[in-house]
Amino acid sequence: MYYNVRPVRLVHDLQPAATIVHAAEPKHAYEHHHISEDEHVDYYAYPKYVFKYGVNDFHSGDIKTHHESRDGDVVKGQYTVVEPDGSIRTVDYTADKHNGFNAVVHKTAPISAHEAAHLHH
């Protein structure tokens, strides 16, 4: 598809701006406090969560689990993945501000598809 491109001439018509006068907004007793640029507000909520999920798709062979929890600056979790050869890779991990991220990986011998299907139970 081709487009016919032509130069466009821009014309700026500058006229004096009209003076506009607005009446002041009425004041309310519940005025909001506006934060100036000099004020620092730290919007900090204590981080705490837990999640867990699993996938067991026989058509694609995607079989995995994952769970994780966080309490403050400490994160702990584990995930498992059934590898194409039938072995299971399990990763246990922790993370905190003192030790950083640490993971320990375990791998089991290959299992049958029937055994892999029962991983979530």
Q: Which residue ranges make up each domain of the chain?
A: 48-117
- What is the full per-residue pLDDT of the chain (121 aa) written as tens digits? 444 545 545 444 545 555 555 555 555 555 555 656 677 777 788 999 999 999 999 899 899 999 999 999 999 999 999 999 999 999 999 999 999 999 999 999 887 666 656 655 4
Q: Which of 87, 56, 89 is nearest to 78 (CA)?
A: 89
Please say whether the beta carbons of 102 and 94 come within 8 A: yes
Q: What is the pTM of this model?
A: 0.56
Q: Are strands 100-107 and 88-96 parallel, antiparallel or unpaired?
A: antiparallel
Count of Cβ atoms closer than 10 Å to residue 107 Cβ: 12
